[in-house]
Amino acid sequence: MGSVDASNGKKPTVIFVFSIGGPGSGKGTQCAYIVEHFGYTHLSAGDLLRAEIKSGSENGTMIQNMIKEGKIVPSEVTIKLLQKAIQENGNDKFLIDGFPRNEENRAAFEKVTEIEPKFVLFFDCPEEEMEKRLLGRNQGREDDNIETIRKRFKVFLESSLPVIQYYEAKGKVRKINAAKPIEAVFEEVKAIFSPEAEKVEA
């Protein structure tokens, strides 16, 4: 399939975004801030898969059937959707959220796209804090229950943690304490992104 270039022909800058356990870590809010302040495009693997299903394409039907059967969508399928989104976007800086979920995803992404992330942004939020936030949110989301949080936490430790450890060994992980209030978390985020922003403008 060959490497992926942004629409301007340059290799895009990619940052993988991770958080433990999903809802409640504040990851979505912080991604929105990064987009607004630093000009990144936020690509959510889950959103791309859902959009593909909604489009009614053959690919979308296949994805829907796999999800229904409780199977994991093959890496190649998600990577193709991410590649397409990068190439069609017009930007050259991307936050990729919800992918890679495991080591196999990570290896496939780097092999297919020939892109290694600039760094990995890891929102580290203790399980208890997320439980507290989710119970306080009470927005009626079906995934907002303790059982789901614990399950996600376990999946994270088994699947996603090895990816973070892989990049940690390369000095590419930027860990953020997501248990703090939103503004304080964004101060940490800004400290990570600001030198980059200055370099871009220089």
Q: Which residues are annotated as a binding site for ATP?
A: 24-29, 137, 180
- Contact, 85 vs 43, CB < 8 A? yes
Give 20's contacts (C-beta < 8 A, 6+ positions apart): 123, 124, 125, 127, 130, 152, 153, 156
Binding-site members for CMP are: 105
Binding-site members for a ribonucleoside 5'-phosphate are: 50, 71-73, 98-101, 141, 152
Q: What CA–CA distance (Å, rounded) separates 124 from 147?
A: 19
Q: How far apart are the first and last CA of the chain?
A: 34
Nearest CA among 74, 11, 85 for reference residue 41 = 85
- Contact, 146 vs 156, CB < 8 A? no
- Contact, 86 vs 6, CB < 8 A? yes
Binding-site members are: 24-29, 50, 71-73, 98-101, 105, 137, 141, 152, 180
Residue matched to tokens 């796999």 = 66
